[in-house]
Amino acid sequence: MTVTDQQFAPPPQPVPPIAARAVDVVKTYGRGETAVRALDSASVAIAAGEFTAVMGPSGSGKSTLIHALAGLDGIDAGRVFVGGTDLSTLTERERTLLRRERLGFVFQAFNLIPALSAAENITLPLTLAGKRAERAWMDELVHMLGLQDRLDHRPGQLSGGQQQRVAVGRALIARPELVFADEPTGNLDSRSGAALLRFLRQATCTLGQTIVMVTHDPVAAAHADRVVFLADGRIVDELSDPTAERVLATLAGLDVARPDEPVEA
């Protein structure tokens, strides 16, 4: 397309060790009496090639953090980097192109365009960029996600688990530096949820894909390499190689610290 697109072409090898970084990020919603500080000097670094889970009680700022890292939302203070790019220096259009070229997304629900087939949904970011999918890579992804027989189906004809797998395919197709997954298993039964998490895990192990996942499910978080805990808009703790029990224990610790805040179910 234009010169601006070139700017966001994948950075030269070797991949920098830090895929994204938030530095003292402040984000306030509302003003005056009703102002809510969703992020209060939050700083976090996402290591490249790792599967990171973000956890925290309801209202702790998980989603705000991920939106800020993905350039979906502006911030009031601090800085956000994706790779070497400072998001605050980008225009709206440049941020859109960055999302298209360098980031992938999986949302909790409504991940797919109803009018497009599964295959078309997967290749959507490439289509938007006016590119074609590499045949081999597409086949590999489809095979990995077990969607060979479902490519011509519309989202309405797919099960919830299949829909989320298509969404994962779409998030990976452009070989993004970073994939954000916002409660990707939130609407799935436990079996489909576990399968989806295995796919994400596999993407990191075999493809070296960097993934950031927001979740409130300790079992889901246990699939990650590292868990970051948020409370009141700051990073308060983190775990490496987590297990569900350790995650639960850490969360319980947060609750003790803030007894008046109920834990999300």
Binding site for other proteins (CB under 8 A): 67, 70, 72-73, 92-93, 96-97, 99-101, 104-105, 107, 109-116, 120, 124-125, 127-130, 156, 170
Task: Give the nearest distance from C-beta 211 to other proteins in angstroms.
Answer: 16
Q: How far is the CB of 51 from other proteins (least distance, A)?
A: 21
Q: Residue type at 102?
A: R
C-alpha distance from residue 173 to each of 61, 153, 218, 248, 265 (Å): 29, 18, 28, 34, 33
CB distance 1 to 130 below 8 Å: yes
Nearer to other proteins, 98 or 230 (CB): 98
DSSP state, residue 181:
E
Least gap, CB of 72 to other proteins (angstroms):
5
- Measured at the CA of 255, the angle between CA 254 and CA 261, to 5 degrees, comes to 120
Residue closer to other proteins by CB (options 99, 223) is 99
For other proteins, give the closer residue by CB, 84 or 130: 130
105 DSSP β-pair partners: 180
Using CA atoms, how far residue 187 sits from 103, 160, 182, 212, in Å, is 23, 8, 11, 18
The nearest distance, CB 69 to other proteins, in angstroms, is: 13
Identify which of residues 173 and 247 has a Cβ nearer to other proteins in the complex.
173
Short-list 23, 215, 24, CA closest to 106: 215
Give ∠ CA 23-168-189 in degrees, rounded to 5.
105
Residue placing its CB nearer to other proteins in the complex, 92 or 260: 92
Shortest Å, Cβ 43 to other proteins: 22
Closer CB to other proteins, residue 122 or residue 239? 122
Smallest distance, other proteins to C-beta of residue 201, A: 22
Residue spans of alpha helices (H) in 135-217: 135-145, 160-173, 190-207
